[in-house]
């Protein structure tokens, strides 16, 4: 059975104007599809453009190039009213759980705000749904609804943020590093909660993170970004078993190993500094740190190609081929 496409990102670019007439291209020519009911992980080093992709999908702000097609409609082509109605079906969980919540408002108002903006339900109906959603994320409504965000821990604030994202029962939730600001002991609770919510609401997730160990456990497929571009995309198990791009292999080699008798291959670890996005390398952007780089890598940008069914890579000399 062919999976149903829910979101298609095609040739997405995001460019920002800087003082002095300069421009910064944070994301360039990114394309991928998210299928209904799956979790797509988006990983890469800090500053590679992951969060910019998530915000561009949400039109916060709109991308400067390409298209974001949700349920068959290009979000960039919608007027303000149509976009407002469409946003009831896709929501975002932001990276910092505390600063993403209005410190002056009570939890009952924070969680109910999407319903109020969309004009959904009466005051009594909103109250019932807020209570039900808070219970779903394991918060006691009687204890939390009349309190403000500063009275909660980071993990509790993230649960409130998740409740706000789920109150309209969306189809797609963009999770922008939802556990990176939390203690390790709390991360597992939030990840398990997201998995439970995915099953309960039939959600589709775009899960953004720099932690490959976290992404492996929650994602059906994984896309890898480097300096504003996608370099590999594959089913999760296949990517971790046999990565094709040297950058993906380097990220996997950097995952800590708890067994002292096992050591990672030092030849796969990253060397050198991350180039400036203001002046990215010519050709392949990873070539300045790649052990397999050749003259061709500096002259020609690698094409996005399907190396095997469902496994895409942008590399002139993918792992497993002659260097």
Tell me what pLDDT residue 1 has. Answer: 62
Q: Domain limits of the chain? A: 5-99+168-313
Tell me what pLDDT residue 263 has. Answer: 64
| Closest C-alpha to 107, from 60, 46, 152, 173 | 152
Tell me what pLDDT residue 177 has. Answer: 86
| E strand residue ranges, the chain | 5-17, 23-35, 39-43, 65-70, 73-74, 90-93, 172-176, 204-209, 221-226, 229-235, 305-308, 311-313
Strand-by-strand arrangement of the 65-70 sheet: 23-35, 5-17, 65-70, 73-74
Tell me what pLDDT residue 108 has. Answer: 94
pTM (2 d.p.): 0.89
Q: What are phi and psi of 228, to 5 degrees?
A: 90, 0
Residue 151 burial by CB count (10 A; 0-12/13-18/19+): exposed, middle or buried? exposed
Tell me what pLDDT residue 253 has. Answer: 84
Q: State the sign of the Cα–Cα–Cα–Cα dihedral 52, 57, 62, 64.
A: positive
Instruction: Give the residues of the chain that fall short of pLDDT 70.
Output: 1, 181, 259-269, 321-323
Tell me what pLDDT residue 322 has. Answer: 57
**Fold annotation for 5-99+168-313:** Rossmann fold (3.40.50)
Query: What tokens appear for 296 in the block?
Result: 């061709």
């Amino acid at each position: 059975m062919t999976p149903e496409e829910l979101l298609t990102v095609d040739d997405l670019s995001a460019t920002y104007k800087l003082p002095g007439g300069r421009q910064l291209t944070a994301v360039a020519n990114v394309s991928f599809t998210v299928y209904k009911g799956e979790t797509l992980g988006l990983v890469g080093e800090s500053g590679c453009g992951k969060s910019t992709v998530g915000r561009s999908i949400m039109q916060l702000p709109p991308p400067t190039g390409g298209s974001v097609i949700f349920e068959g409609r290009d979000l960039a082509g919608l007027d303000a009213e149509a976009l407002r109605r469409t946003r009831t079906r896709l929501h975002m969980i932001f990276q910092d759980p505390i600063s993403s919540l209005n410190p002056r408002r009570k939890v009952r108002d924070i969680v109910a705000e999407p319903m109020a903006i969309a004009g959904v339900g009466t005051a009594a109906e909103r109250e019932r749904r807020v209570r039900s959603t808070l219970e779903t994320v394991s918060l006691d409504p009687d204890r939390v609804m009349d309190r403000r965000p500063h009275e909660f821990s980071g993990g509790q604030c993230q649960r409130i943020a998740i409740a706000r994202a789920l109150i309209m029962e969306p189809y797609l939730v963009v999770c922008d590093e939802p556990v990176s600001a939390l203690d390790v002991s709390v991360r597992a609770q939030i990840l398990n909660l997201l998995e439970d919510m995915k099953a309960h609401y039939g959600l589709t997730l775009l899960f953004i993170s720099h932690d490959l160990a976290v992404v492996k456990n929650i994602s059906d497929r994984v896309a890898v970004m480097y300096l504003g571009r996608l370099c590999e995309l594959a089913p999760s198990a296949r990517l971790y078993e046999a990565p094709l791009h040297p950058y993906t292999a380097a990220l996997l080699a950097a995952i800590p190993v708890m067994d002292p008798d096992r050591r990672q291959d030092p030849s796969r670890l990253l060397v050198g500094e991350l180039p400036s996005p203001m002046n990215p390398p010519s050709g392949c952007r990873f070539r300045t740190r790649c052990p397999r780089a050749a003259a061709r890598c500096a002259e020609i940008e690698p094409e996005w190609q399907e190396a095997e069914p469902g496994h895409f890579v942008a590399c002139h000399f993918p792992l497993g081929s002659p260097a």
